[in-house]
Amino acid sequence: MATVAEMPRETQTFTTVRTPDAAPRPVKVRGENVNVFYGAKQALFGVTIDIPEKAVTAFIGPSGCGKSTFLRCLNRMNDTIVGARVEGKITLDNRDIYDTDLDVVELRARVGMVFQKPNPFPKSIFENVAYGPRIHGLARSKTDLEEIVVSSLQRASLYNEVKDRLHEPGTGLSGGQQQRLCIARAIAVSPDVILMDEPCSALDPIATAKVEELIDELRTNYTIIIVTHSMQQAARVSQRTAFFHLGVLVEEGPTDHIFTNPIEKRTQDYITGRFG
């Protein structure tokens, strides 16, 4: 398979096949004609997408197609990569997040992120969850902070498992628990959007099921964007699905539609396992 770099730009089709929801939801995040470059190499080509509020949107596509790249644009984590450049416009609640006077720290407080490999801080469980509220000044008192920590752990359905050892290291938990701790840590700063980059790829099936269940619960309060390699997972947890291929957003639409009735040939080929 040709990589993005090998493929001349002219031969790419940047048109995206879109299928709207039957009952459209308000738009939370919008990307308009987003191009991303790593040095001279272009990783995303004119991605335009609307991401609905309080729903789970799944990004699927073969490895290297730019799912993580686009996800990392949404909380400007690409800023930290030397040589990465983002063109186009991305808005959160109609506000351009690449605006020069927007505070990245504030943006990242509103757009939380959960990574592929669970990465709790090497501190206690309590400190892990308390860290965000602390640096963003969200807790006025110690009891305030404790309340935030407990409710975040509860919402991440982890509280019952760890309530007796809040002050033990977070790194001592099982992989699945660690990932839920990372989710608790992300929701402790009450973000609007949670980005998850293959959050279950390092977990066993039981832990995966727990996290998926959690994602389903969280969708009532948060806008969730999840990158996944598992078609079943996308089908199980998401309401909308976007299919990327070689840096291009090929097709996006309601999840059941994408999985049962894809319009684009490439989408069809991918979900039926013909490549990827």
Partner 1 sequence: MTETTYSGSDAADRGNDMAARRKRRDAANRRLQYYGIGAISFAIGLLALLFASLIVSGYTAFTQTHVRIDFPISATHVKPDAIDQGNYRLVVRDALADLFPDVTSPADVRSLGQILTNNTQFFVRDAVLADPSVIGRSVTLEIPASDPFDQLNKGVIDRNVPENQRRVTDRQIGWFDQLVAQDRVTAPFNWALFTAPNSRFPELAGLSGAIVGSALTLLVCFVLSFPIGIAAAIYLEEFAPKNRWTDLIEVNINNLAAVPSIVFGLLGLAVFLNLMGLPRSAPLVGGMVLALMTLPTMIIVTRAALKAVPPSIREAGLGMGASKHQVIMHHVLPLAMPGILTGTIIGMAHALGETAPLLLIGMNAFITSEPGGITDAATALPTQVFIWADSPERGFVARTAAGILVLLGFLIIMNGLAVWLRQRLERTW
Residue closer to ligand ATP by CB (options 126, 243) is 243
Phi, psi of 43 (to 5 degrees): -105, -25
Return the residue of 66, 118, 120, 253 that touches ligand ATP, per CB under 6 A.
66
Instruction: Answer yes or no whether residue 64 interacts with ligand ATP by CB under 6 A.
Output: yes
Task: Return the SS3 of 121.
Answer: coil
Q: Which residue is nearest to ligand ATP (CB)?
A: 68
Shortest CB 153 distance to ligand ATP, Å:
29
Residues 6+ apart with CB under 8 A from 83: 38, 39
Task: Return the SS3 of 248.
Answer: strand
* Residue positions counted in the chain: 276
Between β-strands 193-197 and 111-114, what pairing exists: parallel, antiparallel or unpaired? parallel
Amino acid occupying residue 45: F
Shortest CB 237 distance to ligand ATP, Å:
17
Determine the Cα–Cα distance for residues 65 and 43; give it in Å rounded to an integer.
8
Binds 63, which of ligand ATP, Mg ion, partner 1, none (CB < 5 to 8 A, cut-off by type)?
Answer: ligand ATP
Binds 108, which of ligand ATP, Mg ion, partner 1, none (CB < 5 to 8 A, cut-off by type)?
Answer: partner 1
Instruction: Answer yes or no whether residue 80 interacts with ligand ATP by CB under 6 A.
Output: no
Residues 6+ apart with CB under 8 A from 234: 58, 60, 226, 228, 241, 255, 259
CB atoms closer than 10 angstroms to residue 190: 18
Binding site for partner 1 (CB under 8 A): 75, 77, 80, 82, 104-109, 112-113, 115, 117, 119-123, 131-132, 135-136, 169, 171, 182, 185-186, 189
CB 214 within 8 A of CB 180: yes
Shortest CB 65 distance to ligand ATP, Å:
4
Residue closer to partner 1 by CB (options 18, 134) is 134
Residue closer to Mg ion by CB (options 148, 196) is 196
Site for Mg ion in 52-71 (CB under 5 A): 68
Contact footprint for Mg ion (CB under 5 A): 68
Contact footprint for ligand ATP (CB under 6 A): 4, 38, 43, 61, 63-69, 81
